Amino acid sequence: MGHVIVVGAGQAGSSCVAKLRNGGFDGKVTLIGAEPVPPYQRPPLSKGYLMGDMTLERLFLRPESFYSENDIDLRMNAWVEGIDTDAQVVSLGGERLRYDDLVLCTGSEPNRLPAAIGGDLRAVHVVRDLADVDAMAPRFVAGARVLIVGGGYIGLEAASVAAKLGLQVTLIEMSKRILQRVAAPETSAFFRDLHKGHGVDIREGVGLETLLGDGDASGARLSDGSELEVDFVIVGVGIRPATALAQKAGLAIENGIRVDARGRGSAPNVWAAGDCTSFPYRGGRIRLESVPNAIDQAECVAENIMGGTKDYIAKPWFWSDQYDVKLQIAGLNSGYDRVVTRRTDADSVAFWYYRGAELLAVDAMNDPRGYMVGKRLIESNKSPDPEVIANSETDLKALLKA
């Protein structure tokens, strides 16, 4: 059956090799990861793990023994230096591994602050992998002053943990509002009020001019001229697809590694899945940064390697945990022109995004029923009348049968 090499031991890579074995693939399987630990969950890193509520072993997607028991050659702490797509060879620490199929699951990497404004000072952290969180965890002590740069979900989740642990938290967002790139003003307002209620100092329309300090970051000068004293800084200004290896190998890049509907890249026998890919979606191309996408796309690729002819049909959904609020998002809100608010009680609310009469997405805060129904409606291409949604007396489940 040949040799499948999977580069990238995150959610997508782990899902791909597990699907291969569960699907009956009996060839050789190699999973290559740059970190010194087996594949693990990333979302709890900045929440349960950082707060000390979750051990390292509980982060693991599967026990380390899973890989040996399923005859998967897990290479940890290993870096792929290059790929020769003509010879179908991966170069790994002086070793040359030949593949019959290669799957790139290289994920994404965080944007960092330029060195010119203090990005290379100590005590400046990003939130992406285990090493990042282990490095910042000792700084999370009550009373410490933390500056969070970026008001997206990464920054807000970090702010919620810091505030819960008693830190003094200042969060700056250079756009007019937090979550401006990904959510409606209604969702931004909900989370602004939530964080302010927990003592977070949120400053919108304010950017970072420069960090101050000699060695460690000890302060910040902001674009409005104000200065802050800080003990450490967390940078949450977005991520980008990790495409350097693919680009060096000559693969087509288009906002990620360009793949077709079945997950094939532009070179023979090369596939890709997860955060690092852009793929066909509703007549265009998108790249999704989410755990469900990483799992589903990687499993689709595994099926196709085993002879399947399956197109990957993305069903976008996301989540974020902040304080006692669970946000669940279904669909993609790009192009919306109306937001309908549905509130069923004091603790839950959902914002439904429409473009004309078409339902695009739902942001549900502590509203699992609204999320579940909205997700199923979107996946079924059903769009209830906005006025029906706004009526809190409407039986949402009945809409699924309409």
Domain 112-235 has CATH 3.50.50.60: yes
Q: Residue 235 is encoded by which pair of tokens?
A: 């940078």
Q: What mean pLDDT, rounded, does the chain reach?
A: 96
Q: Does residue 1 have a pLDDT over 80?
A: no
Q: Which of 348, 323, 319 has its CA nearest to residue 195?
A: 323
Q: Does residue 144 have a pLDDT over 80?
A: yes
Instruction: Give me the CATH code for the 324-399 domain, please.
Output: 3.30.390.30
pLDDT (0 to 100) of residue 46: 86
pLDDT (0 to 100) of residue 235: 97
223-266 pLDDT, tens digit per residue, is: 999 999 999 999 999 999 999 999 999 999 999 999 999 999 99
pLDDT (0 to 100) of residue 341: 97
- pLDDT tier at 401, thresholds 50, 70, 90: confident
pTM: 0.95
Q: State whether residue 235 is helix, strand or coil.
A: strand
Q: Which residues have CB under 8 Å from 279's CB, separation 6+?
A: 259, 260, 261, 263, 285, 286, 287, 297, 312, 314
Where in the chain are all domains bearing CATH 3.50.50.60?
A: 3-109+239-305, 112-235
The DSSP secondary-structure symbol of 264 reads B
pLDDT (0 to 100) of residue 338: 97
* Cβ atoms 299, 15 nearer than 8 A: yes
171-219 pLDDT, tens digit per residue, is: 999 999 999 999 999 999 999 999 999 999 999 999 999 999 999 999 9
Residue 14, sorted as left (phi over 0), alpha (psi -120 to 50) or beta, turns out to be alpha
Rg (alpha carbons) of the chain, rounded to whole number: 22
Q: How far apart are CA 68 and CA 178, in angstroms?
A: 45
* Cβ atoms 157, 322 nearer than 8 A: yes
Where in the chain are all domains bearing CATH 3.30.390.30?
A: 324-399
pLDDT (0 to 100) of residue 93: 86
Q: Which residues have CB under 8 Å from 222's CB, separation 6+?
A: 172, 203, 206, 207, 208, 209, 228
Instruction: Give me the CATH code for the 3-109+239-305 domain, please.
Output: 3.50.50.60
